[in-house]
């Protein structure tokens, strides 16, 4: 019996609604499989925790998480309670950084049955490899002067190591997919970091002569995600560019509520973290209508990471069929509840047994 | 007779095709008006100029441009000839900076007759106010080490003055429109500059109690441009965020070939510059099929700047009718040439006389 120990952090808002749903699905999958088990331990770290304790997690929080095989996270942040940059940097970004989850992976694909905002979406199936540890998201910088002379400086930090690692990851992934990597750049406007990014991209590309490459400025690329997403396979971008592209990717799928993500630790020293793209959505909390699909698809990415790709494939197939048959929460134009969609996924999984 | 002296820089690629078209339109408008005249002086500054002279413009280029009432620019850049960051920083960005064109204005609206990539576009009509002088586009930064230890640092510089100026411009504009300003931020991820941006936004907002405000993270906002553009009026963003949003704005209109822009000098010390959003499009150069509408709508923004709003309105109405009646270049799904679309605009203007 393989046992996977998973630290579960539902976090804020609808995180608390969709994480239990996806855990339930995982438990059913384990039963179906027969040879594996998931052991979940819940951690109540969220903005309320911050208000009580003055930090988003205990001082030894990272030590506590370290032995787990993976972290399964819902959503973090509730700016009515805690400023976002405090809640996020104190939990989500902190874990990404300290656990060297240097790659953020986010697929986007067209699901039949889900209304896309696009007029004639062709069957797109892309994945964004986002550099997840440095770049524009840096805590280096600060301010000088007060009042009308005030200046804020923000440093973006791009290391050869970090940049190359993300780009190489993208090429390796492309070899298993359609052998096409697009680099998100902005070397026509951003003077130092982006020409550097381009150089590294060109260097790495030389090692993959059988992979087609393309380089696009982020402004144009963001537009292409709207006008021709089907022409992309793997896209690699900096922390910020990857962030922006993946929200557009989620939008063209029909809802940010569907989109999954994985934060991958590549050196095996720390657990990886799996969290959907959506936020905590305080506006719909408590109504039971949060879309569980983002968190469930995220569970599939965790299965892939555990080497259980076959089980992951079973789950994704069921998700596709459930959506196609109209089990849809309001964000994707339906009237089903979180529970109804989850129950249907579970029922169809059980039917496969 | 009012005379406007205009420095015309067609630049690279299709810039050379659409600038003459729009100049022609302006000349016809002057005739119709009767009381004004445009005097154009052409400057051949482009990537070829760079290859011959080692710089994108002569050393006294800025001095030469300074006395003009406006600069009318096509497109700059051809990365097959000159790396983008050299051509752009040597001409386009140089003029924006040195002439203190601190605001970049870019409208996006739905045109009937032009196929949008969106499924059910509602009548959107928004304008992005982009900070145009600082932020992420800074030449401060550099590199250390070589090879695998190499690190590139990119500084983003946000001054209270620059940030406040852009935000205030947005609020003033909103007063003349639908009294709604959306701020593009990323204070949940970008630690120093974006919380600063938010503070300035909140401060300025206090002076405009009758304007509705909203703050959205750039990733979400980029997605909202796809899912609900009709809910925005004025959006204010940093240099980079404004850049990305306006390309999405152009995409949802149906083509980047339609979208106009104005680089506004607000202190009256230097000329403003008018240039469409599209680039030099080397792939379609010489085929006579470049969309002239972006450059023509840009001419309308120049007219507004000259205080000739009425004439500008006449022009925009004609543009709308021409598009609606199907005079469309291939980028917007038609088969008309640059010349055919331009001739139709001119014919309809002349018919109004
Ligand atoms: C060419 C490039 C430097 C420029 C920019 O990013 O400012 C362009 O994308 C634009 O938006 O005018
Ligand atoms: C919440 C925020 C800091 C985060 C990010 O930008 O990384 C989110 O948008 C995401 O993409 O996971």
Q: What is the pLDDT of residues B196-209, one digit of tens each?
A: 999 999 999 999 99
Residue A150 predicted with pLDDT over 90: yes
Task: Tell me what pLDDT residue A85 has.
Answer: 84
Q: Whose CA is nearest to atom 5 of ligand 1?
A: A189
A230 and A120 in a common domain: yes
Task: Tell me what pLDDT residue B85 has.
Answer: 84
Task: Tell me what pLDDT residue A103 has.
Answer: 97
Residue A114 predicted with pLDDT over 90: yes
Tell me the per-residue pLDDT of A228-248, one tens digit each, with 9 for 90 and over.
999 999 999 999 999 999 999
**Coil, helix or strand for A307?**
coil
Q: For a pLDDT cut of 70, what percent of chain B falls above it?
A: 100
Q: From the CA of B219, how many Å to the nearest CA of chain A?
A: 4
Task: Tell me what pLDDT residue B264 has.
Answer: 98
Instruction: Check: CB of residue B74 under 8 Å from CB of residue B41.
Output: no
Angle at Cα B181 formed by Cα B175 and Cα B183, nearest 5°?
A: 150
Residues 6 or more apart from B103 whose CB is under 8 A from it? B129, B130, B131, B132, B165, B166, B169, B263, B264, B266
Domain C-terminal end among A233, A253, A273: A253
Mean pLDDT of A133-137: 95
Residues 6 or more apart from B287 whose CB is under 8 A from it? none
Whether B62 is in a domain gets the answer yes
Task: Tell me what pLDDT residue A31 has.
Answer: 95
Is any atom of ligand 1 closer than 6 Å to the C-beta of A220? no
Tell me the per-residue pLDDT of A194-234, one tens digit each, with 9 for 90 and over.
999 999 999 999 999 999 999 999 999 999 999 999 999 99
Within an 8 Å CB–CB cutoff, is residue B220 touching chain A? Answer: yes
Mean pLDDT of B302-328: 96
Chain B residues within 8 A of A164 when measuring between CB atoms: 148
Domain C-terminal end among B221, B253, B285: B253
Instruction: Check: CB of residue B276 under 8 Å from CB of residue B175.
Output: no
Distance A294 CA to ligand 2 centre (A): 15
Whether A152 is in a domain gets the answer no
The ligand with the least distance to the CA atom of B280 is 1
CATH number at residue B161: 3.40.718.10
Domain count, chain B: 2
Instruction: Check: CB of residue B237 under 8 Å from CB of residue B245.
Output: yes
Q: For a pLDDT cut of 70, what percent of chain A falls above it?
A: 100
CB atoms within 10 A of CB A351: 8
B222 and B149 in a common domain: yes
Which atom, in ligand 1's list, is nearest to the CA of B240?
A: 6
Residue A159 predicted with pLDDT over 90: yes
Within an 8 Å CB–CB cutoff, is residue B334 touching chain A? Answer: no
Tell me the per-residue pLDDT of B276-301, one tens digit each, with 9 for 90 and over.
999 999 999 999 999 999 999 999 99
Mean pLDDT of B182-210: 96
- Best of B187, B219, B221, B222 for a ligand 2 pocket test (most atoms within 8 Å of beta carbon): B219
Burial class (CB in 10 A: 0-12, 13-18, 19+), A339: middle
Angle at Cα B10 formed by Cα B7 and Cα B13, nearest 5°?
A: 170
For residue A316, what are its two tokens?
Answer: 């994704």
Task: Tell me what pLDDT residue B84 has.
Answer: 87
Residue B348 predicted with pLDDT over 90: yes
Instruction: Check: CB of residue A298 under 8 Å from CB of residue A277.
Output: no
The ligand with the least distance to the CA atom of A88 is 2
- What mean pLDDT value characterizes chain A? 96
The ligand with the least distance to the CA atom of A191 is 1
Whether A109 is in a domain gets the answer no
A187 and A202 in a common domain: yes
More confident residue, B63 or B89: B63
Tell me the per-residue pLDDT of B105-136, one tens digit each, with 9 for 90 and over.
999 999 999 989 999 889 999 999 999 999 99
Task: Tell me what pLDDT residue B352 has.
Answer: 86
B214 and B123 in a common domain: yes
Chain B residues within 8 A of A224 when measuring between CB atoms: 251
One DSSP character per residue, A56-96 reads SS-TTHHHHHTTSSEEEEEE---TTTS-HHHHIIIIIHHHH
Q: Which residues pair with B143 in a beta bridge?
A: B152
H helix runs in B55-192, sequence order: 61-65, 84-87, 93-98, 160-175
Cα–Cα distance measured from residue B240 to residue A241, given in angstroms and rounded to the nearest whole number: 11
Mean pLDDT of B264-268: 96
A266 and A245 in a common domain: no
- Closest residue in A to B147 (Cα–Cα): A160
| Beta pairing, strands A212-217 & B212-217 | unpaired
B83 and B3 in a common domain: yes
Within an 8 Å CB–CB cutoff, is residue A247 touching chain B? Answer: yes
Task: Tell me what pLDDT residue A44 has.
Answer: 97
A242 and A122 in a common domain: yes
Tell me the per-residue pLDDT of A276-306, one tens digit each, with 9 for 90 and over.
999 999 999 999 999 999 999 999 999 999 9
Cα–Cα distance measured from residue A97 to residue B28, given in angstroms and rounded to the nearest whole number: 60
SS3 per-residue string spanning B280-346? CCHHHCCCCCCCCHHHHHHHHHHHHHCCCHHHHHHHHHHHHHHHHCCCCCHHHCCCCCHHHHHHHHH
Mean pLDDT of B334-350: 97
Verify whether the Cβ–Cβ distance B226 to A155 is below 8 Å.
no
Residues 6 or more apart from B286 whose CB is under 8 A from it? none
Whether A333 is in a domain gets the answer yes
Within an 8 Å CB–CB cutoff, is residue A240 touching chain B? Answer: yes
Task: Tell me what pLDDT residue A352 has.
Answer: 86
Domain assignment of residue B319, given as a range: 1-101+275-353
- Best of A88, A137, A259 for a ligand 2 pocket test (most atoms within 8 Å of beta carbon): A88
**pLDDT confidence of B330, banded at 50, 70, 90?**
very high
Instruction: Check: CB of residue A56 under 8 Å from CB of residue A93.
Output: no
**Closest CB from A85, A137, A192 relative to B195:** A85
Verify whether the Cβ–Cβ distance A222 to B85 is below 8 Å.
no
Whether A275 is in a domain gets the answer yes
- Closest residue in A to B227 (Cα–Cα): A117
Whether B189 is in a domain gets the answer yes
Instruction: Check: CB of residue A89 under 8 Å from CB of residue A47.
Output: no
- What mean pLDDT value characterizes chain B? 96
Closest CA to B274 of B105, B159, B66: B105
A264 and A242 in a common domain: no
Tell me the per-residue pLDDT of A298-324, one tens digit each, with 9 for 90 and over.
999 999 999 999 999 999 999 999 999
Whether B178 is in a domain gets the answer yes
Residues 6 or more apart from A129 whose CB is under 8 A from it? A103, A104, A105, A166, A169, A170, A173, A234, A235, A236, A237, A242
**Coil, helix or strand for B254?**
coil
Location of structure tokens 């006294």: B60
Domain C-terminal end among A210, A237, A253: A253
Cα–Cα distance measured from residue A82 to residue A79, given in angstroms and rounded to the nearest whole number: 5
**Closest CB from B89, B93, B157 relative to A153:** B157
**Closest CB from A89, A117, A240 relative to B191:** A89
B124 and B7 in a common domain: no
Task: Tell me what pLDDT residue A84 has.
Answer: 87
Distance B132 CA to ligand 2 centre (A): 25
Distances from the Cα of B334 to the Cα of A194, B45, B291, angstroms: 36, 32, 10
Residues 6 or more apart from A96 whose CB is under 8 A from it? A104, A132, A133, A263, A273
Within an 8 Å CB–CB cutoff, is residue B226 touching chain A? Answer: yes
Q: From the CA of A261, how many Å to the nearest CA of chain B?
A: 15
For residue B8, what are its two tokens?
Answer: 């015309």
Q: What single DSSP character describes residue B135?
A: B
A336 and A322 in a common domain: yes
Whether A286 is in a domain gets the answer yes
Full-model pTM: 0.93
**Coil, helix or strand for A223?**
helix
Sign for the pseudo-dihedral over CA of A159, A164, A165, A167: positive
Verify whether the Cβ–Cβ distance B219 to A161 is below 8 Å.
no
Within an 8 Å CB–CB cutoff, is residue A248 touching chain B? Answer: yes
Mean pLDDT of A322-336: 96
Verify whether the Cβ–Cβ distance B85 to A189 is below 8 Å.
yes
A239 and A164 in a common domain: yes
What's the gap between Cα B62 and its chain centre?
Answer: 20
Instruction: Check: CB of residue B101 under 8 Å from CB of residue B263.
Output: yes
**Residue ranges of B 55-94 with Cβ closer than 8 A to chain A:** 77, 83-85, 88-89, 93
Distance A322 CA to ligand 2 centre (A): 28
Tell me the per-residue pLDDT of A27-44, one tens digit each, with 9 for 90 and over.
999 999 999 999 999 999
Distance A155 CA to ligand 2 centre (A): 18
A76 and A186 in a common domain: no
């Amino acid at each position: 019996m393989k046992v996977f120990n998973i630290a579960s952090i539902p976090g804020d808002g609808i995180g608390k609604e969709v994480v239990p749903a996806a855990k339930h699905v995982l438990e059913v999958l384990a039963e179906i499989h027969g040879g594996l088990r998931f052991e979940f331990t819940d951690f109540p770290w969220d903005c309320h925790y911050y208000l009580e304790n003055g930090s988003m997690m205990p001082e030894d929080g990272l030590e506590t998480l370290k032995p787990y095989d993976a972290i399964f996270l819902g959503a973090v942040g509730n700016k009515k309670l805690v400023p976002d940059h405090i809640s996020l940097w104190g939990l989500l970004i902190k874990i990404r950084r300290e656990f060297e989850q240097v790659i953020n992976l986010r697929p986007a694909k067209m699901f039949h049955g889900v209304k896309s905002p696009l007029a004639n979406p062709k069957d797109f199936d892309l994945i964004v490899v986002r550099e997840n540890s440095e770049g524009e998201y840096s805590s280096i910088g600060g301010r000088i002067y007060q009042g009308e002379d005030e200046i804020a400086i923000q440093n973006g930090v791009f290391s050869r190591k970090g940049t190359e690692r993300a780009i190489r990851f993208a090429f390796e992934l492309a070899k298993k997919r359609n052998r096409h990597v697009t680099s998100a750049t902005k070397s026509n406007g951003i003077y130092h970091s982006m020409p550097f990014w381009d150089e590294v991209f060109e260097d790495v590309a030389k090692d993959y002569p059988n992979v087609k490459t393309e380089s696009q400025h982020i402004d144009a690329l963001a537009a292409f995600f709207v006008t021709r997403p089907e022409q992309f396979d793997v896209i690699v971008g900096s922390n910020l560019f990857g962030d922006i592209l993946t929200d557009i990717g989620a939008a063209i799928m029909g809802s940010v509520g569907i989109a999954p993500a994985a934060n991958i630790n590549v050196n095996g020293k720390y657990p990886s973290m799996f969290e959907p793209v959506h936020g905590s959505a305080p506006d719909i909390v408590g109504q039971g209508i949060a879309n569980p699909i983002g968190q469930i698809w995220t569970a599939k990415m965790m299965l892939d990471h555990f080497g259980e790709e076959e089980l992951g494939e079973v789950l994704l197939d069921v998700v596709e069929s459930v959506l196609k048959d109209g089990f849809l929460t309001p964000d994707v134009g339906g009237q089903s509840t979180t529970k109804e969609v989850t129950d249907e996924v579970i029922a169809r999984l059980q039917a496969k047994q």
